Structure formats: structure tokens, C-alpha cells
């Protein structure tokens, strides 16, 4: 959908730009010259109504020429500087909530062709801890947002029991160092977030996330999530987990030559995870994100609506407006 919008915007900008150029440098001057000739033929006595009729732009040309500058600015800003996105799911809670509207810095990881995503000018690469928007590797039509955990060459492991990440940084492009990155965790505490569950066709699935003070009772069918701080080297952020649950290891992506739950990030790829660790379909399940799939770095929440996935907003969370960490 995002690619189709970018393509449509590019086509509209191109067509209105061509019309604007023809009007500016050919059609407009031709009409004015015609008016000057008619006025000279009439001895300079051509009435104003006739002049206006000759010089006046056709309606469709006027419309296209007037909207071209607007489309051009939108196209440049959206394609190369900042693009707005809406958070549709709870996979990045508590950092990002359903209903957050964010700005993504498009030039953070390279100036790219907005249609083909080919890098035109390299400008940088993701750092550990960056919140990254990227094209879902299994379906590039979809935009995903996760946190960069593993960089090219890193050896990443995840313990589904303790829910801890271990990262051995790369010494070179094809192997990991023996010394692990300092990844630390604070003690877990009860979170304000409660996850409710519903049953569908005999299976259990999440039906919503709600903020309920820890002093209040959890509604029937709900589970209060646990929250703690995760520090990846110098980057600290909050993560969530569902108590007394464990990932289904059989669903993990198993990299050839590596044990289950261990991944060595290939050159030019990244390992991404959601902050809501038990509610995130991420690199643990489908593998690595190629460099070419990177869209940009999430930097700012510019609006936030109180809502549940797939439902209409019920309020505004102005307190959430600000930077993303």
C-alpha cells in the first residue's frame, strides 16, 4: 500500500509538473503573444473582456499548475526527509502504542529511490537500539517497525525462559567476537498495561491492551504485563513480557548451521525485535532484514489517539507527543 501511494504521488507530481512547465514556458507566453497581436490589430482598442478571454487559462491547466508546487513539496519531504506512519499493533509497547502517529527520518540510512528503494546516496546504518521502520522481508508491501538488536556479523541468542537477549558483536564481516556486548536488565515490575484475551475457533488470541493502574484489579480474562528496562550497550529502553509464558521454540526461524534460538546476522542484514517481547512477530520467527528493506529511523510521536487495534479512536493522548527512545 505504501509503495502504491509513493508511485501514485510520483506520477501525479510528474504529470502536474509537465503541465506546469508547458504552461509556464509555452502555453502561457503563446496566449499573451496572441493577445498582443489582437490588440495591435485593433489599434490598441481591444476591450478588457476580450483580452481576458484570450489570456485566461483553461480550468484544468490552472488546477494542475496550482497543485504542482504542493505535490512537489510533499513528494520531496515524504520521499527523502520525513514520512508519517501510524502504529497499528502493540508489538512495540511500551515504547510505541496502538494509535501513535510517528515521523520516520527517511535519510537516516541512505537517500533512496522512493519507488524501487535503491540507495542513491549512503548516509548511515542502523545502530543497536534504533527503532527502525522497514519493509517486511516476507511481503515487502507491508511496513514493519521493530528495534535493531543485531548488526551485521553479530551473534544473537534469545532465552525464551528468562526472556534475555545475548549479543556477541562482530569482530569482522563474517564472525562474532568472543566477548559479549553488555546487555543488562532491571528487575521486573508490574506494568500499567493489561492484555486481554479472547477465544476464537478454540484458540486463544490477544483481544486488546489497556492501561489500568497497578492498584486496580485486572478484569476477567486479562493479564497484567511485566515491565523492565533493557540496556543494549549504551541504549536503555523499556520492554514488556507476559508473565509465566514461554515462546514456542518450534516456530523460531532456524538458521542453517546454528542451534535453535541462536542467529548469526549475515553481512548487509539486521536482527529486529519488538519491545513487547511476547507479542511481536519479529526476526526470531522470520529471520533477518536486508539493508535494502530499511525505510528509516522512527524519531518523533506527533499525535496519539487512544484506540485498540482495528477500532475507532476513543480519545487523544497529548502527553505522548515527543521524541522516541
- Rounded to a whole number of angstroms, the distance between the first and last alpha carbons of the chain is 27
Provide the strand spans (E) within 151-251: 155-159, 164-168, 170-172, 175-176, 183-185, 189-200, 203-211, 222-232, 235-241
Contact 209, 98 (CB under 8 A): yes
Count: domains in the chain: 2
In this predicted model, what pLDDT tens digit does every residue of 80-105 receive, in sequence order? 999 999 999 999 999 999 999 999 99
Question: Nearest-CA neighbor of 104 among 137, 81, 128, 130?
Answer: 81
Which residues does the annotation mark as catalytic? 91, 146
In this predicted model, what pLDDT tens digit does every residue of 276-306 receive, in sequence order? 999 999 999 999 999 999 999 999 999 999 9
Contact 154, 176 (CB under 8 A): yes
**Looking at residues 142-152, what average pLDDT do you find?**
96
> What CATH number does residue 186 fall under?
2.10.109.10
One domain, residues 41 and 92: no
One domain, residues 203 and 305: yes
Q: What percent of the chain has pLDDT over 70?
A: 89
Sign for the CA dihedral angle at 275, 101, 2, 80 comes to negative
- Chosen domain end from 83, 116, 138: 83
- Chosen domain end from 62, 83, 104: 83
One domain, residues 165 and 186: yes
CA distance 264 to 136: 19
In this predicted model, what pLDDT tens digit does every residue of 315-325 receive, in sequence order? 999 999 999 98
Contact 208, 195 (CB under 8 A): yes
Burial class (CB in 10 A: 0-12, 13-18, 19+), 99: buried
CA distance 78 to 5: 11
Amino acid at each position: 500500500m505504501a509503495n502504491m501511494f509513493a508511485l501514485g504521488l510520483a506520477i501525479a507530481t510528474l504529470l502536474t509538473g509537465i503541465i506546469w512547465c508547458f504552461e509556464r514556458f509555452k502555453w502561457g507566453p503563446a496566449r499573451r503573444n496572441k493577445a498582443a497581436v489582437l490588440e495591435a490589430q485593433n489599434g490598441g482598442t481591444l476591450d478588457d473582456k476580450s483580452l481576458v478571454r484570450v489570456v485566461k487559462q483553461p480550468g484544468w491547466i490552472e488546477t494542475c499548475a496550482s497543485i504542482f508546487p504542493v505535490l512537489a513539496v510533499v513528494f520531496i519531504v515524504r520521499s527523502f526527509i520525513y514520512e508519517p506512519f501510524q502504529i497499528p499493533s502493540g508489538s512495540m509497547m511500551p515504547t510505541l502504542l496502538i494509535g501513535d502517529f510517528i515521523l520516520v527520518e527517511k535519510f537516516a540510512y541512505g537517500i533512496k529511490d522512493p519507488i524501487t528503494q535503491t540507495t542513491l546516496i549512503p548516509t548511515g546504518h542502523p545502530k543497536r537500539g534504533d527503532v527502525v521502520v522497514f519493509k517486511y522481508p516476507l511481503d515487502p508491501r507491508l511496513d514493519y517497525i521493530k528495534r535493531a538488536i543485531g548488526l551485521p556479523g553479530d551473534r544473537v541468542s534469545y532465552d525464551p525462559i528468562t526472556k534475555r537477549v545475548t549479543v556477541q558483536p562482530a569482530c569482522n564481516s563474517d564472525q562474532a567476537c568472543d566477548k559479549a556486548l553488555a546487555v543488562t536488565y532491571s528487575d521486573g515490575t508490574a506494568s500499567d498495561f493489561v492484555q486481554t484475551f479472547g477465544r476464537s475457533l478454540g484458540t486463544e488470541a490477544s483481544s486488546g491492551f489497556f492501561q489500568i493502574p497497578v492498584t486496580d484489579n485486572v478484569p476477567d480474562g486479562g493479564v497484567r504485563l511485566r515491565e523492565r528496562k533493557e540496556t543494549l550497550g549504551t541504549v536503555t529502553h523499556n520492554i514488556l513480557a507476559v508473565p509465566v509464558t514461554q515462546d514456542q521454540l518450534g516456530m523460531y526461524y532456524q538458521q542453517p548451521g546454528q542451534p535453535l534460538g541462536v542467529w548469526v546476522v549475515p553481512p548487509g542484514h539486521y536482527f529486529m525485535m519488538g519491545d513487547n517481547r511476547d507479542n511481536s512477530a519479529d526476526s526470531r520467527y522470520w529471520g533477518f532484514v536486508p539493508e535494502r528493506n530499511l525505510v528509516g529511523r522512527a524519531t518523533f510521536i506527533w499525535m496519539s489517539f487512544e484506540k485498540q487495534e482495528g477500532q475507532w479512536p476513543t480519545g487523544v493522548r497529548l502527553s505522548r507527543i515527543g521524541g522516541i527512545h
